Amino acid sequence: MPRSTDPGVRREGDALVFAGPLLRDGVASLWPAALRVVTGARRIELGAVDRIDSAGLAMLSALAARAGGDVVIDGEPEGLSELRGAYRMQMDLDFSRT
């Protein structure tokens, strides 16, 4: 069983539900599990994510693109707003077209 500080992902309906910190140390091990459940996802739920860094953002952006884009992001963990601004990403984690 993962520790509460370990990142996790599960599928609930049309949502990918993440928990724990999405930081560089855990993203690589989380990637295979996320890939198994991404097909058809329309939402990414981040309510149980406490922090995110650039590696976590890159993973979420790649997953949103694999899901077909136009994915709704629910939740605002520490660091997400700043990173989205720094990388000029839209709310759906796609890159700005301007």
**Residue 25 pLDDT exceeds 70:** yes
In CATH, the architecture of 8-86 is: 2-Layer Sandwich (3.30)
pLDDT band at 3; cut points 50, 70, 90: very low
DSSP string of 28-84?
HHHHHHHHHH-TT--EEEEEE--BB-HHHHHHHHHHHHHTTS-PEEE---BTHHHHH
Q: Which of 52 and 97 is assigned the larger pLDDT?
A: 52
Please give the model's pTM, rounded to 2 decimal places.
0.89
**Residue 2 pLDDT exceeds 70:** no
Taking the domains of the chain in order of start, what are their residue ranges?
Answer: 8-86
Backbone phi, then psi, for 4, in 5-degree steps? -65, -20
pLDDT for residue 92: 80
